[in-house]
Amino acid sequence: MPSIVFASPKGGAGKSTSAVVLACELARRGAAVTIIDADPNRPVSAWARRPGRPEGLEVIADVTEETVIDAIEGAAARVPFVIVDLEGTASLTVAYAISRADLVVIPSQGSQLDAAEAAKAIRLIRQQEKAFARRIPHAVLFTRTSAAIRPRTLQHIRSEFDAHGVPALQTQMHEREAFRAIFSFGGTVDGLNPGQVSGLEGAVRNARAFAAEVVAMLRPAQPSGIPAESMA
């Protein structure tokens, strides 16, 4: 079953947030999901200890470079979707996880600095492709962007990626209070109290569009339990 790996050498790029939002949206649609929390800071595990974690979504922590491959393969044998949240560095754990990925999502903020870090992640993916003689699908996910403004810097970075054949998701993870709030209150974006969190409807639409695009990218390996059209 598909394994989706969130990787970036840069801390704070939005890996954990994007991983949890995606996992919750898949679980909301009835899919069993396992998140492997391979970040030593354990942000996903901290979220999972709060109330509101969806039924059918488990979190596995205490993963090391010696156990990460077994953890991914074991989870993939049990559930339709495996999501791996990695540390913000280039390590053997990151390389091993990438080698088992059906899709690598590379979160990147819309700055030249982050774009350079995303390029490092892509180089690591290509190294794993050579080492294991297999294509590893990947795409950049722009994070913490504005829903209303398209900065020239971001447009320039996207055009540079296009020119170099670097795929990027059309959906961006916008800067949303709701995406931060789930790590404070627990649960899912659509389970938050609209009286406590502003812009909730926009965050829910953003999360669903992101999950739908990821599922569409995985369609050749799509688990039969969650058709792509149900993500709308």
Per-residue pLDDT, 162: 86
Q: Pick the residue with more confidence: 91 or 66? A: 66
Between 112-132 and 152-163, two packed helices, what is the crossing angle to 10 degrees? 20
State the pairing for strand pair 103-109/57-60: unpaired
Contact by Cβ (8 Å): 102, 83: no
Name the residue among 89, 104, 23, 92 with its Cα closest to residue 63. Answer: 92
Q: Using the predicted structure, report yes or no on whether residue 126 has a pLDDT greater than 70.
A: yes
Kindly list the structural domains of the chain, giving each domain's residue range(s) and its CATH number in brackets, ordered by start. 3-231 (3.40.50.300)
Measured in degrees and rounded to the nearest 5, phi and psi for residue 230 equal -75, -10
Q: What is the pLDDT of residues 12-69, one digit of tens each?
A: 889 999 999 999 999 999 999 999 999 999 999 999 999 999 999 999 998 999 999 9
Distance, CA of 143 to CA of 18 (rounded, Å) = 8
Question: Cα(95)–Cα(138) distance, rounded to whole angstroms?
Answer: 14
Report the Cα–Cα distance between both ends of the chain, in Å, rounded.
Answer: 21
